[in-house]
Amino acid sequence: MEAFAEIKPGKRYLTRIYLGIMLWFVGRAVQAAAKVDKEVAKEFENMPDEYTFCLGAFPNGPYMIVGKDAIGRVRYKGGNPDKHDIHLEMGLKSLGNLFTMFTFRESTPVANARDRLFVCGDVPNACACVRVLDIVQVYLLPKPIAKLAIKRYPRWSFKRHTLDRALVLIRTLIGF
Amino acid sequence: MYIPDYFEFCCRVKIVAGHDGLEQIPSLLTAMGSSAPMILTDKGVRAAGLVDVVETALGGNLTIPTIEDDVPPDSDLNVVHRLADVYREKGCDAIIAVGGGSVLDTAKGINILVSEDSDNLMEFTGAGALKRPLRPLIAVPTTAGTGSEVTLVAVIADHANNRKMLFTSYFLLPDAAVVDPRMTLTLPPHITAATAMDAMAHSVESTVMMSKNPLSDAHAREAMTLISKHLVSVIKNPSDKDGRLALATAATMAGIAFSNAMVGMVHAIGHSVGSVCHVPHGTCMAILLPYGLEYNLHKAEDRIADLLLPLAGPEAVVSTPADKRAQAAIDWIREFNKELNQITSGRHATRFKDLKGHDGTPMVPKDKLPEIAATAMGDGAIFYNPEDMDYEDFLMVTEAAWEGVPLDPTRIKKG
């Protein structure tokens, strides 16, 4: 039989680097928002201790893992799901789907509606995680871009839009 | 027509529909390699003689190891575990589920346990927990409404923790659905109305949701046409076999539609009202449906306007200006509910305030509305709703549905 060279899919290094940075940033922002924002804190309060969720691209990542520790603090737990007991997995079906979402060409709700997103885990906590991610995106992104990412841009107080946003951004950058 | 950039559609259930559908069950089971099915039903269905109809149709050609009828109106976690043990003890190798949504959901729960050889259903909650096909399951719906016979979802109540658990997987799709109008001939008028409005809610919501697609729309629009054309006449003439078959077919088509395009806030709130106050699901759907459309009007006006044709017919479309059709479709549903209320002697409720339990006490006390709104926040159906909802929004809609007044458009947040 004639030998054929095996065709391997491209590695898409730049895409993976971009998504890795975005997920790292969002993961740390969730940790920061849980300390600054009462609504985010309340969502996590309703989850059991050590509850952990991940968001990423199926099958090979990148991922971000966020969860509560044994005393209930919200922590960004890195990007390797194999090291953690994951209770809720939210995955885009391909790297390309995740890239489309994180370049704001498709919002999270639209990606979900188009069956690009799969959720493995309990539904009430998945709803809570989506609400947390929506809030974090409003903190991180300018309004015109955030409106592309979520269903409805919220009407927040001036303090929440300014002081709380500054605190979330600072805490995200320094990891505190 | 709206065509999304990308969509998925799947319905791998064999549908056997017609006036002699039940007679096909033995050959369906043979094709699946099964010879000892458990018949699962509830006491109401059995008392109505429907299991006898099924047994007669099977014609003595099949060994039935057991007929189990201890399924409560609200599928229950403990019942699922107990009946899974019965399935194993009796050596069953398939399930024929004869009943409404609760029986079919219970059957799906039992099928998970016996197929996975597990004694803990909680291991399989949520989406995607099932990884392989389950044992044969044939669904025989006895209401024309839930669409459970073609859905990939099961909702099972955990009464100890006052919550409903959702199971979602393509492996929960029954292998076959037998849609036979003999199963719905004895339904009383108010239940015929409520269950058909459940199917109506499935079809209407699936055409408005973010995940709608041309294939789901085709099923949903035909379902709406069949229900709007046949429901009133069937309530007035319950022995109308052709009308019953039309409604049963519509329910199945609506089930296919919402399995693929999903449902939204009407179901999110309806599930919560059912969970907190134990109101029948179809009743919740009938009451909430116009509110779901009103709330999403600013985001989905074109889609809602398109409902007028299957609901009210071409003359209504022609006589209504294009910019008034969405509101006309909402008004049509409200008027349809009122007509159903009249022809069922008031038993088809149009607002939560009017619902009374067997002892005459209100089924939905006003002080329960905050709990209903909070519970709805954890319902996955809201993912697919065009407009977002927070606690205040859920409470606003629930309060309006309780009073039976239209939503105040100035209170609907737009972002």
What digits encode the pLDDT tens for the residues B287-345?
Answer: 999 999 999 999 999 999 999 999 999 999 999 999 999 999 999 999 999 999 999 99
B150, part of any domain: yes
Interface touch B211/A130, C-beta < 8 Å: no
Q: Are residues B66 and B124 in the same domain?
A: yes
Residues of chain B in contact with residue A154, where contact means CB-CB under 8 angstroms, are 415
Residues of chain B in contact with residue A114, where contact means CB-CB under 8 angstroms, are 4-7, 211
Confidence at residue B264, expressed as pLDDT on a 0 to 100 scale: 96
* Those residues with Cβ within 8 angstroms of residue A157's Cβ, 6 or more apart along the chain or in another chain: none
Backbone phi, then psi, for A89, in 5-degree steps? -115, 120
Q: Are residues B22 and B136 in the same domain?
A: yes
Interface touch A120/B126, C-beta < 8 Å: yes
Q: Are residues B281 and B367 in the same domain?
A: yes
pLDDT in tens, A20-32: 999 999 999 999 9
Amino acid at B264: G
Q: Are residues B118 and B236 in the same domain?
A: no
The yes or no reply on domain A43-174 and CATH 3.30.1050 is yes
| CA gap B248, B226 in Å, rounded | 10
pLDDT band per the 50, 70, 90 thresholds, residue B164: confident
- pLDDT exceeds cutoff 90 at B273: yes
Residues of chain B in contact with residue A123, where contact means CB-CB under 8 angstroms, are 126-127, 166, 378-380
Q: What three-state secondary structure class fits B96?
A: strand
Interface touch B4/A147, C-beta < 8 Å: no
Lowest mean pLDDT among A127-131, B13-17, B154-158: B154-158
Tell me which residues of chain B have a C-beta less than 8 Å from any C-beta of chain A.
4-8, 125-129, 166, 209-211, 262, 377-380, 382-384, 386-388, 413-415
Q: Are residues B281 and B140 in the same domain?
A: no
What mean pLDDT, rounded, does chain A reach?
A: 91
- pLDDT exceeds cutoff 70 at B200: yes
Interface touch B415/A153, C-beta < 8 Å: yes
pLDDT in tens, B181-198: 999 999 999 999 999 999
pLDDT in tens, A37-96: 999 999 999 999 999 999 999 888 899 999 999 898 999 999 999 999 999 999 999 999
Question: Which domain covers residue B115, as residue numbers?
Answer: 14-183
Amino acid at B189: P
Among B126, B166, B384, select the one facing A113 at the smallest CB separation.
Answer: B384
B339, part of any domain: yes
Q: Are residues B121 and B212 in the same domain?
A: no
- pLDDT exceeds cutoff 80 at B107: yes
With 0-12 / 13-18 / 19 or more C-beta atoms within 10 angstroms meaning exposed / middle / buried, residue B161 is exposed
Interface confidence (ipTM) of the complex: 0.88
Confidence at residue B60, expressed as pLDDT on a 0 to 100 scale: 77
Please, how many CA atoms are within 13 Å of residue A4, restricted to the half-sphere of its CB?
A: 4
| CA gap B162, A73 in Å, rounded | 27
Query: Sign of the C-alpha dihedral, residues B288, B294, B296, B302?
Result: positive
pLDDT in tens, B348-390: 999 999 999 989 999 999 999 999 999 999 998 999 999 999 9
- pLDDT exceeds cutoff 90 at A5: no
Here the tokens at position A32 are 């920061």
Q: Which of B151, B183, B215 marks a domain boundary? A: B183
| CA gap B357, B164 in Å, rounded | 21
Longest Cα–Cα distance of chain B, Å, equals 64
Confidence at residue A2, expressed as pLDDT on a 0 to 100 scale: 62
Q: Are residues B206 and B327 in the same domain?
A: yes
Among A113, A126, A134, select the one facing B211 at the smallest CB separation.
Answer: A113
Domain boundaries, chain A: 43-174
- pLDDT exceeds cutoff 80 at B27: yes
Confidence at residue B313, expressed as pLDDT on a 0 to 100 scale: 97
pLDDT in tens, B59-95: 877 889 999 999 988 788 999 999 999 999 999 999 9
- pLDDT exceeds cutoff 60 at B246: yes
Q: Are residues B232 and B260 in the same domain?
A: yes
B153-179 mean pLDDT: 87
Bridge partners of residue B67, in order along the sequence = B39
Counting residues of chain B whose pLDDT is more than 90, the rounded percentage is 83
B135-145 mean pLDDT: 94
| Alpha-helix residue ranges (DSSP H) falling in B8-76 | 25-31, 43-47, 50-58
Residues of chain A in contact with residue B378, where contact means CB-CB under 8 angstroms, are 123-125, 127-128
* Those residues with Cβ within 8 angstroms of residue B300's Cβ, 6 or more apart along the chain or in another chain: B208, B386
CA-nearest residue to A154 within chain B is B415
Q: Are residues B35 and B102 in the same domain?
A: yes
Bridge partners of residue B179, in order along the sequence = B17
Here the tokens at position A142 are 């300018």
Confidence at residue B201, expressed as pLDDT on a 0 to 100 scale: 98
| CA gap B352, B185 in Å, rounded | 28
Q: Which of A77, A87, A85, A73 is nearest to A41 (CA)?
A: A73
- pLDDT exceeds cutoff 80 at B415: no
> Which own/partner contact pairs does B326-330 have at CB distance under 8 Å and 24+ positions apart?
B326/B293, B326/B297, B326/B301, B326/B302, B327/B297, B329/B293, B329/B304, B329/B305, B330/B290, B330/B293, B330/B294, B330/B297, B330/B304
Confidence at residue B162, expressed as pLDDT on a 0 to 100 scale: 67
Confidence at residue B102, expressed as pLDDT on a 0 to 100 scale: 87
Decide: B29 and A136 in contact? Cβ < 8 Å: no
Bridge partners of residue B311, in order along the sequence = none
Q: What is the CATH number of the domain that holds B367?
A: 1.20.1090.10
Decide: B54 and B39 in contact? Cβ < 8 Å: yes
B126, part of any domain: yes
Interface test with chain B among A58, A110, A114, by most B beta carbons within 10 Å: A114
A150-162 mean pLDDT: 94
pLDDT band per the 50, 70, 90 thresholds, residue B160: confident
Q: Are residues B85 and B225 in the same domain?
A: no
Among B6, B7, B388, select the one facing A151 at the smallest CB separation.
Answer: B388
Confidence at residue A1, expressed as pLDDT on a 0 to 100 scale: 54
Interface touch B383/A112, C-beta < 8 Å: yes
Count of structural domains, chain B = 2
Q: Are residues B151 and B225 in the same domain?
A: no
Q: Which of B129, B154, B183 marks a domain boundary? A: B183
Q: Are residues B104 and B202 in the same domain?
A: no
B8, part of any domain: no
| CA gap B147, A114 in Å, rounded | 22
- pLDDT exceeds cutoff 80 at B130: yes
B266-271 mean pLDDT: 96
What mean pLDDT, rounded, does chain B reach?
A: 94
Decide: A146 and A137 in contact? Cβ < 8 Å: yes
